[in-house]
Structures are given as C-alpha cells and as structure tokens.
Amino acid sequence: GAVVSQHPSWVICKSGTSVKIECRSLDFQATTMFWYRQFPKQSLMLMATSNEGSKATYEQGVEKDKFLINHASLTLSTLTVTSAHPEDSSFYICSARGDPGQGIGTDTQYFGPGTRLTVL
Amino acid sequence: EDQVTQSPEALRLQEGESSSLNCSYTVSGLRGLFWYRQDPGKGPEFLFTLYSAGEEKEKERLKATLTKKESFLHITAPKPEDSATYLCAVLHYNTDKLIFGTGTRLQVFP
C-alpha cells in the first residue's frame, strides 16, 4: 500500500518550453501533496505544499509563476515548469500524505520515483 | 532553528559487518521522526516512523530507535542490497514540512 507514481520518469526539453509532471497516489487518497527538488548528492529541498482544491503554498525563493502546481483531485497533483531554462534541470520528486482512516501513516509522506528534467 | 544532522556522511561496510547510522535533531516540538532509504535516481522509500523517546521499530535487518535528541538506524549483518543513502527527517508539531538531514551513503561490499 501507499504507492505514489510520477510521470514522466525523465524528460528532455528545449529552453523556453513548458513541461508538466504528474504525481498520483495510486492506492490512497491524499489531500496534501508535496513537491521537492533534489540536486546531485544533496538532500531534498521542499518547493511547495499542494492541497486539493486550493492554491499551493510555495517555499521562500520558489517562483510561483515558473513552477505552477495544480491539485485537482485527491489522487493527482501536477507541476508545470513554465519557460524552462537549463538551470531548471534537476530531479523533481513528489510525495503524498494519506488522509486519515486509510490504514497508512497519516503523518508519513510517501514519495514518488522522481522525474529527471533536462533542459537543453 | 530546527536542524537535522546525520553521521557519518558515508559508510563502507563488509557484508555481515553490523553498524549504526546516527541522526541528531534539534526541533522545538517533535511530531515524528522518519527514516527513508533512497537509491540512486529514485525517490525516497519509507522505512520507519518514530514518535516518542524509547520507541523502536524493526524491519528485516534494520532497527530504528529514538531518544530525545537523536535516532539510530542499526543495520545487522548487512548485505550488498542494503547499499543506499539513508535519510532521516523530522516533522515539527505545528507544520506540515519535513526537515531532512543530508543523508548517510552506505556501501556494503561482498
């Protein structure tokens, strides 16, 4: 139980284009999802917290207009990197926290497999 | 300021050589401490949640313990497939945010 998927697993795009990454909780419902970014040999950096049906809360220093987050349902959140540039190249990871009553930890964040974004 | 420090940064073990990883934390109100395993190019895989001092959790060759200042991840008779980066994270009582340590990179050689 508590499986989170991400799609795509990797993407290469040209500078100036937009890229959408999907995060799905496959076997549980998640009112809250999180988006992280990870640079090589570094730990995870929280970008934003996404709540179903409401606007995402971004961490300080994260550009809201560049990283658009939509959390349209209890099982799906999307991150769109708009007008991507080479400095946006990174490993993006989402996580989901299960709602109470589903037999999984309600404080625990379950992570997806990550999406490797390369901007040329 | 809430902080999580993991040590050592890297650990090389011979297969079967037991050891412990340390996670020291400073947080004004601990709601929970989490251990994750991360393989290269993958997302973190959940291992354990610990909520109170004295609590212990076990899974196969791994055992996590918690005190008021630190947590240990004990690895008993490790195998090469245990090679990964182990991440510790704390959850503050009043926030949704996980504060991660920088991880311990474990390599187990046959």
Per-residue pLDDT, averaged over B4-9, amounts to 96
Per-residue pLDDT, averaged over A55-83, amounts to 95
Say which range, A5-14, B12-21, B34-43, B88-97, has the weakest mean pLDDT: B88-97
- What does the mean pLDDT of chain A come to? 94
Q: Is B23 on the interface with A (CB under 8 A)?
A: no
Nearest chain B residue to A94 by CA: give it: B43
How high is the pLDDT of residue B10?
97
Which residues in chain A are closer than 8 Å to B102, comparing Cβ atoms?
Answer: 42-43
Chain-chain contact of B49 with A43 (C-beta, under 8 angstroms) = no
pLDDT > 90? residue A103: no
Q: How far off is chain B from A82, nearest CA to CA, in Å?
A: 23
Percent of chain A residues past pLDDT 90, beyond the cut: 82
- 3-state SS assignment for residue A79: strand
Per-residue pLDDT, averaged over A20-36, amounts to 95
pLDDT > 90? residue A61: yes
- 3-state SS assignment for residue B9: coil
Q: Is B7 on the interface with A (CB under 8 A)?
A: no
Chain-chain contact of A6 with B43 (C-beta, under 8 angstroms) = yes
Which residues in chain B are closer than 8 Å to A114, comparing Cβ atoms?
Answer: 41-43
pLDDT tens-digit readout, A104-115: 888 899 999 999
pLDDT > 80? residue A1: no
pLDDT > 90? residue B13: yes
Q: How confident is the model at residue B106 (pLDDT cuts 50, 70, 90)?
A: very high
pLDDT tens-digit readout, B39-91: 999 999 999 999 999 999 999 999 999 999 999 999 999 999 999 999 999 99
pLDDT tens-digit readout, B92-102: 888 888 999 99
Chain-chain contact of A4 with B43 (C-beta, under 8 angstroms) = yes
Q: How confident is the model at residue A100 (pLDDT cuts 50, 70, 90)?
A: confident
Q: How far off is chain A from B25, nearest CA to CA, in Å?
A: 16
Q: How far off is chain B from A97, nearest CA to CA, in Å?
A: 10
pLDDT > 90? residue B16: yes
* DSSP designation for A104: S
Q: Rounded to an integer, what distance in angstroms lies between the CA atom of residue B24 and that of residue B35?
A: 12
Which of B23, B34, B87, B98 to mutate to probe the A interface, most A CBs <10 Å?
Answer: B98
Q: How far off is chain A from B85, nearest CA to CA, in Å?
A: 10
Per-residue pLDDT, averaged over A63-81, amounts to 95
Chain-chain contact of B43 with A42 (C-beta, under 8 angstroms) = no
Cβ partners under 8 Å of residue A29, min gap 6: A74, A75, A98, A99, A102
Strand arrangement of the beta sheet that strand B19-26 belongs to: B3-7, B19-26, B70-75, B62-66, B56-59
Q: How confident is the model at residue B29 (pLDDT cuts 50, 70, 90)?
A: confident
How high is the pLDDT of residue B103?
96
* DSSP designation for A55: -
